[in-house]
Amino acid sequence: MDLGKAGDLGDKAKKFAGENRDKIEKTAGDAIDKANLGDKGDKAKDALKSGMDKLTGK
């Protein structure tokens, strides 16, 4: 893969995640809740938030 294209793809993902963060976190959070994972679900939500923070630069 051309490194320029990989950079463009990363920028697009970062932009999409930033613009849709609330929807992404809500949808993923709902799926985690539905799986009824208890403490592991809370850890998964924390990991999701941390990953979104890193991806969006917050």
Round to the nearest angstrom and report the end-to-end CA distance of the chain: 28
pLDDT of residue 2: 58
pLDDT of residue 8: 86
pLDDT of residue 55: 86
* Residue 14 · residue 53 · CB < 8 Å: no
* Residue 19 · residue 55 · CB < 8 Å: no
pLDDT digit string (tens) for the chain, length 58 residues: 555 676 788 888 889 989 999 999 999 999 999 998 889 999 999 999 999 999 888 8
pLDDT of residue 56: 86
Q: Where do the domains of the chain lie?
A: 3-56
